[in-house]
Structures are given as C-alpha cells and as structure tokens.
C-alpha cells in the first residue's frame, strides 16, 4: 500500500500535467506536474538562466510551473503590466509572491493599487524632469566626489580599486541626500553606515528566498523563516532600521528640511540649502489630508534606499564591465564624452541626455544585465484575460521574464553580444539590427506600477559614467575577467569589480 501522501501527490501531479486549464501550454511535463525544478533553481540563484533555457526550447510563452506562465514577447508588456482599458482590468500583484502586509504599513512596493496610486502621486513631483534638473548641483557634487576619492585611492601607486563598492557608496550618498537631506559620507569613508550598505545584498537574498517559500509553501513561511541564518535576518532588520532612522531624523526638521545634516560644509551648499528634498513632499501631504502614516513612510524609505541605489550601482558596474571587454565600444564612448566637454562641470543633465552613444551603451547594458532579471508576477482575473494573443485562464500567475526576453534571438540579433550600435538610429543605424524588437526592453517596467525613479536613474547613470570615462583610462584587472558569471536572488550577487585607473592628463 502506498502512503496517502504519495497517492495525493501522484493525483496532484497527474491533474496538473493532463487536466489543468494550462495543460495545452508548451513546457516540460515535469514542470507542469510540480514546481520542484523551479523551486530548486530559485533557491540556488539560477532561475533566470533556467527560464531562459525553457524559452529557447519552447518559444514565446512557456508553462514554468503548475500554475505559472512566462512570456518574452513585447506584446505581453501592456497586457500584463499596463493601465486598465475597457474590458481589460489591471492585473494585481500576485499576493503569494509579494505577501500582504497590513495596509496601514504598506509602502509603494507592496501597497494595494489604490493606496499605491495615492502614494505615487505624493512622490511623483520629485521625479519630474524639472525637479531633477534643479538637483543638478547636488548630483554634480557627488560625481566630483566619486572621481576625487577614486583618484586618491589609485594614484600614484596604481592600486586596484573595487568599483562595486565605489558605485554603491556614490548611489547611497546621492539617494540619502536627495530624499532626506541626509549626509551618509560613505564616499568619504565614514564607517557609520558602511555595514548597512555591505549587508544590503544579504537582506535582498533573504527577501528572494522568503518570496520563493511564500509562493510555493505559503503555510510554512513562519516555520521556514526560523531556519534562516541569524546573520541574514539581522541584515534585513538593519536595513529597515537604518531607513526608518533617516525618516525620523528628517521629520524632526520639518517640511523645509532646514538644518540638514552637515549641509553647510558641503560642495554646492548654497544650491542645496534652497532645494527641497523628496521627503518634503511626504511631509507637505499632511496638510491637505493625503498624509502617509509613519509606518508607510518607513516602508517607502526602505524601498527608496534599495530601488534608488543598488539597482543604479548594479547597472553602472555592468556597463563598465562590458565596455572594458569591448575596446572599440569604450574608445567610441571616450571620444564622444571627452569631445563633448572641456570640463566635468559642463556635464549638465540635458547635455548628457543628448549623447547618443552614451545612451546606447546604457541601453545595451540594461539589455544584457538587467538589474532585476526575473519576472514580476501578476495574477490574472477570475474571468481570465488575453495576453500577447493567448487566452489565459483565471487565477494564473503570469510574468514577462526580463533576462529571457532580452537574451532571446526571437527579439534581438546576436542576443548575447554587447553591441551598443544596435540602439543607434538615423545615419548611424546598423542594418544587422533592423528587425530587433527593441520595444521589449522595459527594465523599469510599464503601466501604473512602473519604476517611479526611471528618469533619475538614467540621469545618475549618464552623469557618473561620463565622469568616469572623462577622468580615467580604465583597465580591468585579471581577477575580474569572469565578473559577469553571477547568481541572482532578486538582484545579482556581485563580486568585486577590480580595475586600475589612470587619471587622464590634460594640458
């Protein structure tokens, strides 16, 4: 006699494989029957490559679990993540993947749609083009500080430097100042917050593991959390605590933020003293009845200090690595940037946005190395819906997988090669890429829950990368030749990116 649990599992697997509403979708029968291969790959940090291999074999839409579909067609973006249209409701975030914190403490990332829309309206003015241009002096000051610190670290001994650490410190310093008028001084070597930044990946890895467990074993999350290492749980608690402290200190200074931390002595102090930081909008909202409560502010601070830092630093590291491995691309970028500016203080956000090859390099790096490579799960409505021409039943988890879509020969010629020229248009267009489906590249997502900080991220990446290639000749150290071979739990597990920097001598 078979034990009852074995009979139940066999019946469950047979139903999923041959009777489930998704039975007609292509994919391995084992994955249709049970999610074990996905679970193992997600826990090992290799799910992005595994799902890509499935799409290479089965096509644009693949059944990647008993109740999961992955898409890689550009048509799927609007259907899965887009705004509501008559007869097509907005697909909600899958609660099994993201959890459901109480509404009173849910920030932008996890709030229900109505609360998310309200919170987004509060913060949106800070990310408008006009508002970001007004922040130019602050951004330029931190870019100059990055170059100064890297120069002193590597010259005259030509000591290798770790760009992962440098980019992380720059983006954290920038976001803390932009959002809270707070001075972390990570670039200057202040040790107070360095353990926080160093532990961010552990916090994200914990989040990725818990998300996997929550999705596939929702009843066991509390038990499984107990089995996770104390170090990983402490890292997550540290991140939430540091972010909350930034909010609390900022609230003590009131709406205008006067008396910010050490603002008088910083570069660009006069311009900074007159500017409004992002949190002034959250504080001002209390006067018109649209206030966020303290728990929501804390949750949003934790989100901002990851989404506005780690992802930008990740892409900067990625584009630097790819350029160092492709000498002709680096030479073309150096020529464009050094030819456009006689000094780094000429690098306005508007002028940088007009550098076509600089933008092409960033787009190509986002394609090959998206900071968030996996899909963001949505749940179909109970009545079902149509996605990329496919009729999908109700209550199914669906997503577009960034890595698989961006590395697919169905969407891009030479999909695994770093070729920024594919993004050039007009007389510089390369005919090899005339049929690329460039609209599939949406690393910041689309629709009502797309990344609020998209414009800030582009401005920051352009400014910091342009400063780097204007100021230094950069050489990749041998120990980092295989740097891009990484695992991923929500974000990439990045090793040190070691380079040698030679300051450019100008007469």
Residue numbers in the known binding site for heme are 451
Do 74 and 406 meet the contact criterion of CB atoms below 8 Å apart? no
What does DSSP say about strands 472-476 and 385-387: parallel, antiparallel, or unpaired? unpaired
**What's CA 455's distance to the chain center, in Å?**
13
What does DSSP say about strands 92-93 and 472-476: parallel, antiparallel, or unpaired? unpaired
Do 272 and 174 meet the contact criterion of CB atoms below 8 Å apart? no
3-state SS, one letter per residue, for 69-123: EEECCCHHHHHHHCCCECCECCCEECHHHHCCCCHHHCCCCCCCHHHHHHHHHHH
Reported residue count of the chain is 507
Paired tokens of 494: 């990045």
What does DSSP say about strands 397-400 and 68-71: parallel, antiparallel, or unpaired? parallel
Query: 23-45 burial, b for 16+ CB within 10 Å, e for fewer?
Result: eebebeeebbbbbebbbebbeeb
Distance between CA atoms of 440 and 248, rounded to whole angstroms? 40
Pick from 438, 422, 413, 52: which is nearest to 60 by CA? 52
Backbone angles phi, psi at 489, to 5 degrees: -125, 95
Helix (H) or strand (E) run with residue 178 in it: helix 163-180
Binding positions are 451
End-to-end CA distance of the chain: 87
Do 309 and 166 meet the contact criterion of CB atoms below 8 Å apart? no
User: What are 502's strand-pairing partners?
Assistant: 473
Contacts of 28 (CB under 8 A, 6+ apart): 37, 54
Interhelix angle for 163-180 vs 294-307, to 10°?
Answer: 150
């Amino acid at each position: 006699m078979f034990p009852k649990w074995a009979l139940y599992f066999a019946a469950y697997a047979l139903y999923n494989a041959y009777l489930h509403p998704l039975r007609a979708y292509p994919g391995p029968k084992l994955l249709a029957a049970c999610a074990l291969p996905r679970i193992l790959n997600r826990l090992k940090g290799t799910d992005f490559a595994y799902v890509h291999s499935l799409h290479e074999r089965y096509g644009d839409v693949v059944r990647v679990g008993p109740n999961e579909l992955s898409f890689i067609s550009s048509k799927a973006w609007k259907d899965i993540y887009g705004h509501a249209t008559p007869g097509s409701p907005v697909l909600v975030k899958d609660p099994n993947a993201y959890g459901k914190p109480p509404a009173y403490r849910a920030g932008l990332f996890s709030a229900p749609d109505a609360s998310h829309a309200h919170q987004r309206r509060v913060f949106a003015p800070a990310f408008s083009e006009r508002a970001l241009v007004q922040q130019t002096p602050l951004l330029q000051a931190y870019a100059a500080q990055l170059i100064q610190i890297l120069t002193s670290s590597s010259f005259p001994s030509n000591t290798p430097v770790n760009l992962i650490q440098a980019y992380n410190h720059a983006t954290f310093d920038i976001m803390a100042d932009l959002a809270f008028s707070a001075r972390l001084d990570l670039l200057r070597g202040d040790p107070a917050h360095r353990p926080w930044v160093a532990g961010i990946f552990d916090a994200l890895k914990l989040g990725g593991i818990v998300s996997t467990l929550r999705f596939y074993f929702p009843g066991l999350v509390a038990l499984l959390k107990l089995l996770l290492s104390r170090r990983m749980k402490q890292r997550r608690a540290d991140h939430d605590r540091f972010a909350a402290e930034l909010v609390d200190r900022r609230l003590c200074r009131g709406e205008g933020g006067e008396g910010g931390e050490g603002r008088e002595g910083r570069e660009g102090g006069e311009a900074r003293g007159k500017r409004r930081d992002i949190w002034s909008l959250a504080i001002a909202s209390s006067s018109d009845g649209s206030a966020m409560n303290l728990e929501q502010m804390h949750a949003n601070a934790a989100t901002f200090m990851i989404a506005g830092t780690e992802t930008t630093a990740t892409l900067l590291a990625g584009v630097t690595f790819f350029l160092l491995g492709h000498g002709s691309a680096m030479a073309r970028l150096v020529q464009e940037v050094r030819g456009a500016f006689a000094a780094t203080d000429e690098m306005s956000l508007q002028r940088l946005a007009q550098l076509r090859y600089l933008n092409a390099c960033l787009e190509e790096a986002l394609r090959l190395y998206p900071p968030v490579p996996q899909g963001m799960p949505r749940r179909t409505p109970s009545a079902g819906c149509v996605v990329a021409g496919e009729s999908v039943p109700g209550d199914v988890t669906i997503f577009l997988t960034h890595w698989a879509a961006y590395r697919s020969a169905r969407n891009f010629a030479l999909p695994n090669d770093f070729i920024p020229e594919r993004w050039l248009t007009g007389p510089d267009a390369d005919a090899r890429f005339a049929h690329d489906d460039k609209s599939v590249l949406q690393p910041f997502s689309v629709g009502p829950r797309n990344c609020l900080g998209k414009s800030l991220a582009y401005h920051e990446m352009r400014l910091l990368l342009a400063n780097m290639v204007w100021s230094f000749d950069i050489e990749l150290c041998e120990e980092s030749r295989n740097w891009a071979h990484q695992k991923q739990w929500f974000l990439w597990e990045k090793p040190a990116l070691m380079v040698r920097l030679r300051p450019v001598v100008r007469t």
